[in-house]
C-alpha cells in the first residue's frame, strides 16, 4: 500500500469514527429533520411512517451486523443522555433565546452591518 492509499484509509477511518461519536442531540435532530423532509415530499407518508422506520432500521442492522452489540450499548446510552439532557436543560439560566430577546441590546444590534462600521470608527 503506498503512502497516498494509506493516508486515504487512515483519514476515512477517522471520519467514520467521528460519526460514531456524534452527540445524541445531533442524532436526534437529524432524525427529526429527515422525518420532516420526507413528509414534505409526500403527505401520505404519515400512514406508512412506522413501518418505514422499522424497515429502515432493519437495513441498518443487516448492513452493520458486526456493530450490532456496540450499537445496542449506544442505544442504551442514548436513552440515558436524553434523560440527563432534559434535566440539565432546565438549569441553564440566561442562555436561551428568551434571554437574548429580553436583553437590552436587540438581536438586530448583532446583525446590523452599519453598527459594525459605527463601532469600528468609534472603537478607540
Residues 14-33 contacting another protein, CB under 8 A? 14-15, 17-19, 21-22, 24, 26-33
Give the CA angle between residues 76, 78, 79 to the nearest 5°. 70
Shortest reach from residue 66's CB to another protein, in Å? 14
Within the chain, where are the H helices?
Answer: 3-20, 24-41, 45-63, 68-89, 97-102, 107-111, 113-121
Cα dihedral sign, 20-24-29-34: positive
Q: Which of residues 69-88 bind another protein (CB under 8 A)?
A: 71-72, 75-76, 78-79, 82
Kindly tell me which residue out of 65, 66, 87, 108 binds another protein, with binding defined by CB under 8 A: 108
Tell me if 38 contacts another protein by CB under 8 A: yes
- The dihedral sign for the CA sequence 114, 117, 123, 124: negative
> Smaller CB distance to another protein: residue 36 or 87?
36
Residues 44 to 63 in contact with another protein, rule: CB under 8 A = 45, 48-50, 52-61
Amino acid at each position: 500500500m503506498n503512502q497516498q492509499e494509506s493516508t486515504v484509509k487512515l483519514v476515512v477511518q477517522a471520519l467514520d469514527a467521528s460519526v460514531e461519536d456524534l452527540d445524541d442531540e445531533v442524532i436526534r435532530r437529524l432524525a427529526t429533520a429527515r422525518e420532516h423532509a420526507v413528509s414534505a415530499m409526500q403527505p401520505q407518508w404519515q400512514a406508512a411512517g412506522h413501518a418505514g422506520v422499522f424497515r429502515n432500521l432493519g437495513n441498518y442492522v443487516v448492513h452493520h451486523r458486526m456493530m450490532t452489540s456496540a450499537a445496542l450499548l449506544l442505544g442504551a446510552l442514548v436513552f440515558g443522555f436524553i434523560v440527563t439532557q432534559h434535566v440539565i436543560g432546565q438549569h441553564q439560566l440566561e442562555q436561551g433565546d428568551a434571554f437574548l430577546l429580553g436583553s437590552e441590546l436587540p438581536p438586530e444590534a448583532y446583525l446590523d452591518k452599519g453598527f459594525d462600521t459605527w463601532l469600528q470608527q468609534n472603537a478607540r
